[in-house]
Amino acid sequence: MAATPSDSMLALQALTPEALAARIPGLSSAHARKIVSAVHRDLPIGEATFTIRRSVIEAILASTTVPTLECVEEQKSAIDSFVKYGFRTHDGHVIETVRIPLEKKGRFTVCVSSQVGCALACTFCATGRMGLTRNLESWEILEQVRHVRRSLNGGAEKAGHVYGHGHVYGGDAGRVHGVVFQGMGEPMANIERVLEAIFVMGDPSAMAIDMRAITVCTSGIPTGIRRLAREAPKVRLALSLSSARPDVRKSLMPIARAHSLEEIIDASVEHARITGLAPMWAVTLLNGQNDSEEDARALGELVRGFVEKSGKSPRISVIPYNAIAPQDDPYSRTTEEREARFRETLRDSGVHTRKRYSGGGDVDGACGQLAAAQRESLPAPVATT
Ligand code: SF4
């Protein structure tokens, strides 16, 4: 049974050492790091912190809690080591998380949800059909990663890990290398909580995930893209493009009526200039909708313009469509022939696409249309141990 949160209590797993020290009178930064380290290793606070005054420990215990999500579904791919999880929140909603294997054996990226449902109503997305129920709290985002990490570790940290420094993570079964915000919800619409979660993920005393292995995927909200660049400049940006033709994009993604492609590209150029990072652009090919040679030529044109302005080449990921509804699905996957022509036309424009990876297709259908793209598009794993 999941532990429930409380309005008057702080979620301890969502605090960086600085945030914790600022809230607990008498707690030094060094001791705050030890507490945070213990929390993220599932150790009892009292056990490993004997140098901290009892009154300070009591103040922490009196004002904080470590709420959890209830895992109600774990669907393992028969094809490879993709796993889709369903987590029930304390108010009865179910959110989805996907564990994505990276090319390097034993390393995984966790695709997390940032909202219950989504208001953006992209026509090819199952979550878009649900509407928005609420934003997730930062601890709810973090719990998705913590659960996957525990499952890889067999439920506990291995003996011999460096207590208090947080550089050693993962067991023989694998380790969480990165996180991608590409599950349910538009992360830029919940940017406050998403940033809070990112800071805890990247903190060396907390989850110690390399910030360069964290990717935020947006359907195109310029203010969020700019804020991400300023406040988390090591974090990567992915853009769900769908089409480089404005009218086609508007027909697939209603948000495109509020923010033009030009605005989104300007914000992305600014992101690339500030961070020095090339974005990933994802295109889910839908038969007869956005897979023509004209679509490919428009994409080639958009890439050229972006390279001229930013000096960076976006990594283009062309990914297969996973059906969102068995009965009344308005779309179908593009044919092999049309996809080949699309790639060829792009190549003629000087744009190279990544090889499609279709693993995990049996588990990531409902949301995370783009989850498969992560395996091929994330940068090569960076060793952090
Ligand atoms: S694709 Fe993303 S932004 Fe669009 S409706 Fe689905 S969850 Fe929301």
Ligand 1 contact, 174 CB (< 6 A): no
> Distance, CA 53 to ligand 1 centroid (Å)?
47
Average pLDDT over residues 125-134: 91
Average pLDDT over residues 89-100: 94
Asked whether residue 103 falls in the same domain as residue 202, the answer is: yes
Ligand 1 contact, 186 CB (< 6 A): yes
User: Known catalytic residues?
Assistant: 96, 367
Q: What local confidence, expressed as pLDDT, does residue 160 receive?
A: 30
Nearest CA to ligand 1 atom 3: 186
Average pLDDT over residues 107-123: 95
Query: Highest mean pLDDT: which of 33-47, 144-158, 236-250, 353-367?
Result: 236-250
> Distance, CA 339 to ligand 1 centroid (Å)?
23
Q: Could you tell me the CATH number of the domain that includes residue 107? A: 3.20.20.70
First to last CA, the chain: 33
Ligand 1 contact, 120 CB (< 6 A): yes
Per-residue three-class SS string for 64-125: EECCCCEEEEEEECCCCCCEEEEEECCCCCEEEEEEEECCCCCEEEEEECCEEECCCCCCCC
Ligand 1 contact, 127 CB (< 6 A): yes
Ligand 1 contact, 128 CB (< 6 A): yes
Closest by alpha carbon to 367, among 157, 22, 87? 87
β-strand partners of 74? 85
Confirm whether 355 is domain-assigned: yes
Q: Identify residue 151 by its one-letter amino acid code.
A: S
Closest by alpha carbon to 33, among 141, 164, 123? 164
Closest by alpha carbon to 362, among 106, 107, 80? 80
Instruction: Compute the distance between CA of residue 368 and CA of residue 173 in angstroms, rounded to an integer.
Output: 24
Q: What local confidence, expressed as pLDDT, does residue 324 receive?
A: 78
pLDDT exceeds 70 at position 5: yes
Looking at 21, 36, 65, the residue that finishes a domain is 65
Average pLDDT over residues 74-86: 87
Asked whether residue 32 falls in the same domain as residue 131, the answer is: no
Residue 359 binned pLDDT confidence (cut-offs 50, 70, 90) = low
Residue 44 binned pLDDT confidence (cut-offs 50, 70, 90) = confident
Confirm whether 52 is domain-assigned: yes
Q: What local confidence, expressed as pLDDT, does residue 45 receive?
A: 81
Average pLDDT over residues 353-360: 60
Residue 23 CA, chain-centre distance (Å), reads 28
Residue 49 binned pLDDT confidence (cut-offs 50, 70, 90) = low
Asked whether residue 279 falls in the same domain as residue 322, the answer is: yes
Q: What local confidence, expressed as pLDDT, does residue 32 receive?
A: 95
Asked whether residue 362 falls in the same domain as residue 269, the answer is: yes
Asked whether residue 61 falls in the same domain as residue 194, the answer is: no
Q: What local confidence, expressed as pLDDT, does residue 154 receive?
A: 74
Asked whether residue 153 falls in the same domain as residue 290, the answer is: yes
| φ, ψ for residue 353, nearest 5 deg | -100, 160
Ligand 1 contact, 239 CB (< 6 A): no
Domain count, the chain: 2
Average pLDDT over residues 26-38: 94
Asked whether residue 328 falls in the same domain as residue 251, the answer is: yes
Asked whether residue 108 falls in the same domain as residue 203, the answer is: yes
Query: Hey, which of 111, 113, 122 would you mutate to test ligand 1's pocket, going by the most ligand atoms within 8 Å of its Cβ?
Result: 122
> Distance, CA 186 to ligand 1 centroid (Å)?
6
pLDDT exceeds 70 at position 1: no
Asked whether residue 108 falls in the same domain as residue 25, the answer is: no
Ligand 1 contact, 197 CB (< 6 A): no
> Distance, CA 130 to ligand 1 centroid (Å)?
10
Ligand 1 contact, 153 CB (< 6 A): no
Asked whether residue 175 falls in the same domain as residue 267, the answer is: yes
pLDDT digits (tens, 9 = 90+) for 269-322: 999 999 999 999 999 999 999 999 999 999 999 999 999 999 999 999 998 888
Q: What mean pLDDT is reported for the chain?
A: 87
Structure pTM? 0.89
Asked whether residue 61 falls in the same domain as residue 179, the answer is: no
Residue 362 binned pLDDT confidence (cut-offs 50, 70, 90) = low
What does the block give as tokens for 256?
Answer: 């495109």
Q: What local confidence, expressed as pLDDT, does residue 78 receive?
A: 81
pLDDT digits (tens, 9 = 90+) for 154-204: 754 433 332 233 333 444 479 999 999 999 999 999 999 999 999 999 999
Q: Identify residue 368 by its one-letter amino acid code.
A: G
Q: What local confidence, expressed as pLDDT, does residue 375 receive?
A: 43
Residue 369 CA: nearest ligand 1 atom is 1
Residue 252 binned pLDDT confidence (cut-offs 50, 70, 90) = very high
Residue numbers of the domain that contains 170: 70-377
pLDDT digits (tens, 9 = 90+) for 206-236: 999 999 999 999 999 999 999 999 999 999 9
pLDDT exceeds 80 at position 355: no
Query: Hey, which of 127, 217, 324, 364 would you mutate to test ligand 1's pocket, going by the most ligand atoms within 8 Å of its Cβ?
Result: 127
